[in-house]
Amino acid sequence: MRFDLKVALRYLTANRLQSALLIGGVAIAVTVFTFNAALINGLAEFQIDRVVGSSAHVTIEPARIRPALAPALDGTERLVVSQVALQRREQIKQWRTVEQIIDTLPGVTGVSYNILGTGLLSRGEQTLPITFKGVEPARLGAIAPIDQNIVEGEARLGINDVLIGRKLATDLGLRIGQPVLITTDQGRTRTLTVRALYATGVDSLDARLAFVNLDSARVMFDLPEGLTEIEIKLADIYAARDVARQLADSTGLEATAWMDKNQRLREALEGQGSSGNIIKMFTLITIVVGVASALLLTTFRRRPEIGIMRSFGISQRFVLSVFMLQGALIGIIGSIVGCFLGWSFSTLLANIGAASGRRLPVDPALGQYDIALLLAAAASIAAALWPARAASRIDPVEAISQ
C-alpha cells in the first residue's frame, strides 16, 4: 500500500465518528441527487407517455402553398394577409409513394392513413359538432389503442359503422346498434350505425371524435383518392425530429414531430429539468462545504504532526496527496452508499405506488447513479484541495514550536 494512502486511511480511522458523519453527509446528498433524478426523469417519462403514448410521433400533412411575394423596398415594412380557400380541401394525393418511403424507414412501429373532417352527428333533435376520422379497419389501433379501449360493442369498422366515445354516447343518449345521422362540412349526409363505444379517459376525445371506415370518409368528405394526414409511430420517440426532417425532404410534404406540436409539454419538461438541476447543484454545494470544513479542522488539529513529518523530509506534494486522498475516499465511499440508498428509496416508493394502484412517477432506473458518483467524488476531491494546500504550506519550525 502506498504510504500516503496509508496515512490518509489512518487519519480517517483515527476519528471514526467524524469520518462517519462526513461519509454520511455525502451519502445523504447523493441520495437526494439520485432520488431527485429518478423523480424528475420518471415524471417526464410519465407525462410524455400520457401525452404521446396515444398520439402520433410524426404527422405528415399536405404541403401548404404559400403565395410568392415581391421583395420589399429598403426601409419599408410589408404586411401580408393570406386567405385560405375553404372550399378547397388540401390533400395528399400521391400517398402510395409516401407509403413506400415510410416502409423503408427503420424504427417505424405503426402507420395510419387518415381522412379528417368535421361535421354534425344527430339523433332526434339533438345535434353535436364532432370530428370524424376515417381510418383503415386493420389500422384502427396503429396509433392510439382504440381497439383496446372499447368498453361496449366490438372494434369492427364496416362501411356503415361508426365508433364513438362513451361521453359522446352519454350526451346524445346513444346505445350500441342505434343509427345516427351524419352531416359533413361538405354538405353530405349519411346514416351510420354505432358499432362500439370507447373510453380513453380524455374527455376532449371521448366527446368529440368519431371513427369511420376510410372508404366511407372518402365519400363523406369528397376525397376519392387523397388523404388529409398520415400518422407514424416510432420505437424511439426522440428520433421523431430526424424522421420528420427526412420525410419532409424526401416527400416535399409537411412533416411535424410530436415535440413541435406539444409546445406546452416541452416547456413544462424544460422547467422540471431546470428545477432538478438547481436541486442537484445545491446537493453538490453541500458536499463541498461539508468536506472542506471538516478537512480544514483536521488540518489545524494536525499541524504539529504535519510539522514533524515535514521536518523528516516529507515533501509538500506528499502532504497534499494525503489530504486529497482523504477527500477522494470520503467522496467515493459516500457516493456508493448514497447511490445504493437512492436506488433503494426510489424502488420502495415505486413498489408502494404499484401495489396501491396509484403509480408514483418514480423510475429507479433513471436515477443517474453514474453521474452522481462522478460528480460527488469530484466535488469531494475539489473540496479537499484548499485544506490540502493549506496543510502542505505549513512551516515545520512554526508548527513544532506551537
Q: What is the pLDDT along the chain (402 residues), one digit of tens a residue?
A: 577 778 778 877 877 887 888 888 888 888 888 888 888 888 877 777 777 767 888 999 987 766 666 676 676 776 666 665 544 568 888 888 999 999 999 989 999 999 999 999 988 788 889 999 999 999 988 888 888 889 998 888 889 999 999 998 988 888 899 999 999 988 889 999 999 999 887 777 888 899 999 999 998 998 888 899 999 999 888 888 899 999 999 888 999 998 887 776 667 767 777 777 787 788 778 878 777 777 777 766 666 666 666 666 677 777 778 778 888 888 888 889 989 999 998 888 888 766 656 667 788 888 888 888 888 888 888 887 777 777 666 665 565 555
Q: Is there a contact between 62 and 253 (Cβ–Cβ < 8 Å)?
A: yes
Residue 242 and residue 282 in one domain: no
Sequence-distant (≥ 6) Cβ neighbours of residue 329 within 8 angstroms: 8, 9, 12
Q: Could you tell me if residue 64 is inside a domain?
A: no
193: in domain: yes
**Residues 105 and 248 occupy one common structural domain:** yes
| C-beta separation of 246 from 102 below 8 A | no
228 with 280, same domain: the answer is no
Q: What is the pLDDT of residue 336?
A: 92
168 and 291 inside one domain? no
- Claim to verify: residue 301 and residue 178 sit in the same structural domain: no
pLDDT for res 305: 65
Question: Looking at 252, 283, 304, which one is the last position of a domain?
Answer: 252
**Within-domain flag for 67:** no
How buried is residue 1: exposed, middle or buried, by Cβ count under 10 Å (0-12/13-18/19+)?
exposed
Where among 226, 252, 278 does a domain terminate?
Answer: 252
CB atoms closer than 10 angstroms to residue 251 = 19
Q: Distance between CA atoms of 119 and 162, rounded to whole angstroms? A: 13
Q: Residue 14 corresponds to which cell in the numbers above?
A: 483515527
- Answer yes or no: do 235 and 349 share one domain: no
Is residue 13 one of the residues assigned to a domain? yes
> What is the Cα gyration radius of the chain?
33
pLDDT at 54: 74
Task: Identify the residue whose cell numbers are 469520518.
Answer: 19
100 shares its domain with 246: yes
Whether residue 42 lies inside any domain: the answer is yes
Read off the pTM: 0.67
How many independent structural domains does the chain possess?
2
Give 285-319 pLDDT, tens digit per residue: 887 877 777 777 776 666 666 666 666 667 777 77
Residues 44 and 192 in one domain: no
Q: Kindly state whether residue 235 falls inside one of the protein's structural domains.
A: yes
Q: Is residue 245 domain-shared with residue 289, that is, in the same domain?
A: no
- Amino acid identity, residue 125? E
Same domain, 99 and 248: yes
Residue 79 within any structural domain of the chain: no
| Whole-number Å distance between alpha carbons of 79 and 321 | 69
Rounded Cα–Cα distance for residues 399 and 402 (Å): 5
State which of 198, 224, 252 marks the end of a domain: 252
Same domain membership, residue 179 and residue 139: yes
* Residue positions counted in the chain: 402
The answer to whether position 178 is within a domain reads yes
Q: Measured between alpha carbons, how far is 155 from 159 in angstroms, rounded to an integer?
A: 13
- Per the structure, the complete domain to which residue 102 belongs is given by 95-252
278 and 163 in a single domain? The answer is: no
Task: Return d(Cα 390, Cα 299) in angstroms, integer.
Answer: 8
